[in-house]
Structure 1
């Protein structure tokens, strides 16, 4: 399965941040050459400016993000930021990321080592 990454931190636009709040289920990951089906057991919870990733109720990662309209930057611990772009279409969140230290993707179509993640909002 391709990498799954997402975190939210100090956002400049609260309305965008508020739209991303809640629980999300992974539908798909994709690279330039292949696509993998997600797993309903892979969840992402966005609360405030924090994101928690879980697989089958086990914590897998925490982090922070910087949000601007259509742009997302992730930070894992002391590592280099992961730069990405995103689109929110109703209850579907689409993210495209570059490897740490690489240039931000210019679209939601992954190129080279970039990857895409498609998430669905989980309604209570």
Structure 2
């Protein structure tokens, strides 16, 4: 793959997480929330079929968290399956399948009959 194509893919991924114009910043020069979004950009840059996300909104303010979840919705609409760990009931409700874990064991599992916003978003919720 040509290096200009790789750069374009990286720029596009950074733009999708709202970090356009910060391509040359070092980690110490950006906030913790921006670092979290860089991690998401790195995860999606090669357009994988499966995205594993461990508390992707945990260190973000509510507005940025909503933007990340909107991005996940867009990625799902493009065919990506998302498996997400979260403590947020709000985000877990968006999944078709939610697995609840307590003390390291499967506590319950919920599969919704109605179509959620993002049908293949699966959430694993810890207590």
Higher share in helix: 2
TM-score, with length taken from structure 1: 0.24
- Higher Cα Rg, which structure: 2
Higher relative contact order (CA 8 A, sep 6+): 1
Higher share in strand: 1
